[in-house]
Amino acid sequence: MADRPELVDSHCHLDFPDFNGELPEILVRARAAGVTRMVTICTRLRNEPTVRAIAEAHDGVFFAAGTHPMSAAEEPLVTVDQLVALAQHPKFVGFGETGLDYHYTAETAAIQQASLRIHINAAQELQLPLIIHARAADDDVARILTEGMKIRPYPCVMHCFSSGPALAQAALEMGFYLSMSGIPTFPKSGALRDIFASAPLNRILVETDSPYLAPVPHRGKRNEPAYTAFTARTGAQIYGITEAEFAAATSANFDRLFTKATAA
Boundaries of every domain in the chain: 7-263
176 Cβ neighbours under 8 A, 6+ residues apart? 145, 155, 156, 157, 158, 203
Query: Whole-angstrom Cα distance, residue 214 to residue 216?
Result: 7
Order the strands of the 35-42 sheet from edge to edge: 7-12, 35-42, 61-65, 92-101, 130-135, 156-158, 177-180, 204-206
Predicted TM-score (pTM) of the model is: 0.96
For domain 7-263, give the CATH superfamily. Answer: Metal-dependent hydrolases (3.20.20.140)
* Strand stretches in the chain, DSSP E: 7-12, 35-42, 61-65, 92-101, 130-135, 156-158, 177-180, 204-206
Query: Whole-angstrom Cα distance, residue 216 to residue 197?
Result: 19
pLDDT per residue as tens digits for the range 207-238? 999 999 999 999 999 999 999 999 999 999 99
Classify strands 177-180 and 156-158 as parallel, antiparallel or unpaired: parallel
Q: How buried is 24 (Cβ within 10 angstroms: 0-12 exposed, 13-18 middle, 19+ buried)?
A: exposed
H-helix or E-strand containing 165? helix 165-173
Query: Which of the four pLDDT bands, split at 50, 70 and 90, describes residue 41?
Result: very high
pLDDT at 101: 98
Flag whether pLDDT at 242 surpasses 80. Answer: yes
SS3 243: helix
pLDDT at 2: 45
